[in-house]
Structure 1
Amino acid sequence: MDSIDIFLYVADILVIAGVIFAVVLPLIKSLDNPGSLLKTGVGVVALLVIFFIAYSMSGDEVAAKYAADPFNLTPGMSKFVGGTLLTTYALFIIAIIGIVITEINKAIK
């Protein structure tokens, strides 16, 4: 095992810890105001809906060179990666539209 493998494991652990902290700490804070949990739930449901739509639209084709030994990419994995990429693109476009609308509203006021 070389240093690259060790750093990949450390990165995995740090990402998992970050996800746990990002989920648990706001939940602890929101116990003071349970109404904020509803907003969080709506946001999570919206993200899941966007991902489901993107996952449904993505294809499951796998090129022959990616189905071989080093990658072992399956059609299911290909569909998941495609759905994730489409979700990222959709969220990027939504963010840009939100920024433009906010700036137009500030300019009008």
Structure 2
Amino acid sequence: MDTTDIFLYAGYLLIIIGAVFAILMPLIKSFDNPKSLLKTVIGVVVIGALFGIAYSTASGDIAAKYAADPFNITPEGAKMVGGVLITVYALAILAIFGIVVTEITKIVK
């Protein structure tokens, strides 16, 4: 094991520690104000519902070359990827719509 491997593992460890702190610290802070935690839970539920709708509309069709080696994509995996993509597209469109509405309201004021 040379120094490159050591630094890679150290980087992985720091990313994991950062992710844990990024998730836990806002949760700990939100116990002071439970209403903010409720807003977070509502947001997570809405995104989960959006993913559920996207997953149910996604297709599980796979081209023959992706079903074989070396890819071995299953219909369930293809449907999951399709659901995630549709969710990302919907959230991106929603974000762009929000930006446009915000800018229009700034112009009107």
1:86/1:8 Cα in 2 relative to 1: closer, same or farther (>3 Å)?
Answer: farther
| Aligned equivalent of 2:56 | 56
User: How far apart, CA to CA, are the structure 1 residues paired with 2:12 and 2:71?
Assistant: 19
Superposed displacement of residue 20, structure 1: 2.9
Alignment of 1:64-103 (within 5 A): 64-103=64-103
Deviates more, 1:81-90 or 1:19-28: 19-28
- TM-score, normalized by length of structure 2? 0.83
Superposed displacement of residue 23, structure 1: 2.1
1:45/1:102 Cα in 2 relative to 1: closer, same or farther (>3 Å)?
Answer: same
| Structure with greater helix share of residues | 2
Secondary structure, counterpart of 1:94 in structure 2: helix
Secondary structure, counterpart of 2:67 in structure 1: coil
1:76/1:18 Cα in 2 relative to 1: closer, same or farther (>3 Å)?
Answer: farther
- How many residues were matched structurally? 105
- Structural RMSD (CA): 2.5
User: How far apart, CA to CA, are the structure 1 residues paired with 2:48 and 2:9?
Assistant: 28
Rg bigger for which structure?
A: 2
Tell whether 2:57 aligns with 1:33: no
- Consecutive unaligned residues of structure 2, counting only runs of 5 or more, are 1-5
- TM-score, normalized by length of structure 1? 0.83
Tell whether 2:51 aligns with 1:43: no
